[in-house]
Structure 1
Amino acid sequence: MRRLILIQALLIGTFFGCKSQNGNNTVLKTNSIISNVEAIKAHHKTVYLMEDVWMRDPFIELAPDGYYYLSCTRQNSNLGLQKPKGGIEVFRSIDLVTWESLGVIWNTSQSEWGKKMEARAVSPENKHDVKEAMIWAPESHFINGKWVVLYTSNQGAANLMLTEGADLKGPFLEPFGTDFGSHHDPTIFMDGDQPWLVDKIAQVTPLKKDFSGFDGESINIGPSDRKMGHEGAYIVKFKNKYVLFGTAWSTDKMRHGTYNLYYATADKITGPYNERKFAGRFLGHGTPFKDKNGNWWCTAFYNANKPALTGEEAKNLDLSDTAYTINKQGLTLVPIEFKMVNGDVKVIVKDADYAFPGKEEIQNFNE
């Protein structure tokens, strides 16, 4: 029945809805499903999707079963959970355009780590004026036949979980117990069969191959000329180069200007990395991924203090007084590519609205 609904939606180019496991109906709107499918194949322009869904920090993984899995920050009010619970909702898609919610695959009451976060959320220790255990920036990585799920929280603590098998569902194993530690925007990079924890803009820490613990000391990495930014560290390997991504506001002042993505490259994961280069405007905390056609995309999302601008408006206005974006609510997919130029990796954003720094950019780029 679900596949029939997907086919009907594709034919009529209208709305697709599904019922999530927590009992909530999630209706995902696309303005033109057919044209978006074509745009994904063409890989030449930005695609805006799921505009009825509030999200931040979208992360997409293409699994061996042929589905794309989307993990993202959701407001607790979106999840249908009673305070102080937090949780992780996951979506999946066969084509990157029509998405279904798999519901809340895990909530904080289902683990010792989560119960500890709930207790802290309602205690005087909570440094945020929100009495909820909110899960931030969850990522789901399919590695060695299992899912590795990482996330941080509004309580200053992070966690790593493993599935028992190839399905992205509980019960989850927590190999670190409640002691994974404080890791800002943790992610995993597989260097061959060696897993590395990447976080804190930026550190890399080797992990045991079965994810049962750390396997060495943390190593600080970053651009040679300046600080990368403040969040969203991520590593991609292209050819023989390691590409470290990170996020910063264009003015180097929190929530002033545009939320951008930058990068530096190295010959080893541990560095040394070269100077910070510009990756893309409005792509802050975006994570690159490769689709079924072998094309690269970068995720993006709404993060601003003002309503989304058009690309033309963003080119002509002074955007230095507060936070601006051209991303709408929902999921934004921006086409990118990696090229070797003069022996180094160049990240190329194929949409001109995202490809160039704004006038308020504090760093000068010689390109």
Structure 2
Amino acid sequence: MHQLVAISIAWVVLAPALGADSFPLRLEDIRVRDPFIHADPATRTYYLYAQTGNRQAAPRPGPGVAVYRSRDLTNWSAPTLVFQRPVDFWGGEEIWAPEMHRLGEHYYLFVSFNGRAGGRGTQILRADSPAGPFMVFSADANTPPEQRCLDGTPWIESDGSCWLVYCHEWVQIGDGAMRAVRMKPDWSARAGEPIEMFRASQAPWVKPLSNGQTNYVTDGPWLHRTKNGRLLMLWSSFGPGGYTLGLARSEDGYVDGRWTHDPEPLFAGDGGHGMMFRTFEGRLKLVLHQPNSGGRERTRFFEVAEEGERLALRPKPAIAGYLFAHMTKADYGRLHYSLSTNGLHWQRLNGGRRILGDEYWGHPDICRGHDGRFYLAGNIRPNDGLALWVSADLVNWAKLRELRLDVSRVPGYRDNSGNHGAPKIFFDDATHTYLITWHTSRNRRHPLDTEAYWRGQRTLFITSKDLETFSVPQRLFPWEMATIDVIVRREDDRYFAFLKDEAMPAFAWPTGKSIRVATAPGLTGPWSKPGPSISPNFREAPTLIPRPDGLGWYLYTEQYPGVQYTLATAPTLDGPWHGAYIGDYSVPPDARHGCMIPLGQAEFDALLTAYGGR
């Protein structure tokens, strides 16, 4: 297991030659706030800039700014100093948000400092190489001295005018502002008076700080012009999910134009202070730190797509492994984890113990949401409502909310006395909508007719754009067939509902009790009648994962009685589905009803670190 090098490694002042063994670190080893990447085409090297001292697990006075280097964005060198704070420098020990730009013939490092005598500002430093050393070439901060400022970033307009865009902090003005000031062509000093671009409170997603006052934060501006000429700004503040990355746009196409805000943030997973760069292969990437506190800040990468005048995070990161969140036969209704590198062979985590202790109850189902975070569906005991949980890393979970479901107005339901079983949650990135499904019986349990309860099971659903407000419960399928354990997925422009046919009598071979598939053109329908069985009889709890080789899907279903998971595979969700040989896969024998999801490298590593060695 890697150790936190920010604590133990000595700062290397001179950059060593990079041999094959010169990249011992992974991003999980390096605590970084406000990460900045420079892709240097001359050396095909990526530079990660980070402040020293105040970002360490045990803060201590830091000498300045360091850089880590990489050839592949995965393996990184030890840090080397690129700026050492002079003894007589106006800035104190706390250093923030270094970002490095090549502007003309020189390389410029934009760094925010706390002043020794108070205040805060951004200073521009200069060097002849991205590896430094960066030198002071103006005596004072480049932001206005009367303003408490940070996070300065440069922008050059098409007419050649140079601008410094920065944050005027909430600690001085309450409602933080984004401002800009013209600079001299050599970036040595201001060449005009600052202008106000916008205030933090103007963005609809921003929430005030919970400090007893109405204060709003502006952090981390980053400007980007799209292929069709639209000028955009990434910037950060706080939203309902914690630290958040939003998107503003200049309606006039200029820094000093009129700025508006997208109503939904680009990333709301307790991460932010983002910037973008292109890889040497031409892919546009977003980099930010996540989470935002607790000494756990790490650099995160996301693929970005330009869609006309907007940016979108690509929904399919590289698969590093898979998580199986499930119950067990002996510990029914509680959360357990298993992990796989290939989607075929699974290993229990946490020594086979529960993940959330007594806090979680239900048939676990997890999706990755609109903000990059993970959402877990469960029940309120005794299954008379739903519970939603949220996590940035699948390790640290917090209950988001409980939902009391009123099904009394759904045709066929008299009251709310039934169980709301096995809730499933799916985020559809095409419509930016969450779909939550569950099954509730129209019949109460009867001591003489034990199958009446299961004959009455129908699948209900609600939708939400933000998991704060929800639609009223409705029937998902128009046809009369008992269904449970429904999951919905999209492939291309079609939606697929994988369902368990809950027909009765329970153990009659012609009845079915198998997995079937219905399709629809939209997220909530209209749904076709289900097709023929795609599984043997006596299967339930279907869960789907994309194959790691990109050749289709794996479908796991739970066999009962005599609990055992079985596997099928198909090139598309439409099939055809073929059962896998039992010797080609292995699932923990006590695993019951759950869900499987693909993992990025960060989530995979976090799970191994938290639970793999126990």
Superposition TM-score tier, normalisation by shorter sequence: 0.5 to 0.7
- 1:178 maps to a residue whose letter is D
Q: Contact (CA 8 Å) 1:55, 1:74: kept in 2 or not?
A: no
Q: 2:305 aligns to what?
A: 337
Larger Rg: 2
SS at match of 2:29: coil
- 1:272 maps to a residue whose letter is R
Q: Contact (CA 8 Å) 2:182, 2:193: kept in 1 or not?
A: yes
Match of 1:284 among 251, 272, 275: 272
- 2:121 maps to a residue whose letter is A
Cα 1:306–1:134, aligned 2, differ >3 Å: closer, same or farther?
Answer: closer
Q: 2:244 aligns to what?
A: 260
Match of 1:217 among 182, 193, 210: 193
What TM-score results when the alignment is normalised by the length of structure 2? 0.41
Q: Contact (CA 8 Å) 1:264, 1:273: kept in 2 or not?
A: yes
CA RMSD of aligned residues (A): 3.7
Q: 1:183 aligns to what?
A: 149
Match of 1:346 among 297, 310, 313: 310
Q: 1:108 aligns to what?
A: 85
- Distance in 2, Cα, partners of 1:136 & 1:169: 18
Higher relative contact order (CA 8 A, sep 6+): 1
- Distance in 2, Cα, partners of 1:58 & 1:190: 22
Q: 2:51 aligns to what?
A: 73
Q: 1:57 aligns to what?
A: 34
Match of 2:100 among 126, 140, 144: 140
SS at match of 2:86: helix
Q: Contact (CA 8 Å) 2:222, 2:235: kept in 1 or not?
A: yes
SS at match of 2:163: strand
SS at match of 2:77: strand
Q: 2:231 aligns to what?
A: 242
Q: 1:355 aligns to what?
A: 370
Q: 2:12 aligns to what?
A: 21
- Kindly report which structure 2 residues correspond to 1:112-123, keeping only aligned pairs within 5 A, or say none: 112-113=88-89, 116-118=90-92
Q: Contact (CA 8 Å) 1:264, 1:276: kept in 2 or not?
A: yes
SS at match of 2:78: strand
Q: Contact (CA 8 Å) 2:66, 2:79: kept in 1 or not?
A: yes
Match of 2:111 among 151, 164, 173: 151
Structure 2: state its 5+ residue gaps: 17-21, 168-176, 207-216, 317-367, 374-399, 402-465, 470-614
SS at match of 1:99: coil
Cα deviation, 1:60-84, whole Å, max 9, x if unaligned, reads 1112322221112333585999x75
Q: Give the helix-richer structure, 1 or 2.
A: 1
SS at match of 1:355: coil
Deviation at 1:236, TM superposition (A): 0.8
Cα deviation, 1:196-235, whole Å, max 9, x if unaligned, reads 1111141121211111211222111138981475211221
Match of 2:183 among 199, 203, 207: 207
Q: 2:291 aligns to what?
A: 303
SS at match of 1:169: coil
Cα 1:362–1:236, aligned 2, differ >3 Å: closer, same or farther?
Answer: farther
- Distance in 2, Cα, partners of 1:268 & 1:77: 34
SS at match of 2:150: coil
Deviation at 1:301, TM superposition (A): 1.7
Cα deviation, 1:76-99, whole Å, max 9, x if unaligned, reads 585999x75531011122222222
- 1:185 maps to a residue whose letter is D
- Distance in 2, Cα, partners of 1:213 & 1:242: 25
Percent of matched pairs sharing the same residue? 17
Deviation at 1:154, TM superposition (A): 3.6
Deviation at 1:300, TM superposition (A): 2.0
Q: 1:233 aligns to what?
A: 221
Q: 2:478 aligns to what?
A: none
- Distance in 2, Cα, partners of 1:196 & 1:354: 36
Single out whichever of 241-250 and 191-200 deviates more from structure 2: 191-200
Q: Give the strand-richer structure, 1 or 2.
A: 2
- The alignment covers a number of residue pairs equal to 282
Q: Contact (CA 8 Å) 1:52, 1:329: kept in 2 or not?
A: no
Q: Contact (CA 8 Å) 2:32, 2:55: kept in 1 or not?
A: no
Q: Contact (CA 8 Å) 2:151, 2:166: kept in 1 or not?
A: yes
- Distance in 2, Cα, partners of 1:244 & 1:68: 23
Cα deviation, 1:117-166, whole Å, max 9, x if unaligned, reads 34xxxxxxxxxxxxxx1211111111212111111124423311111x23
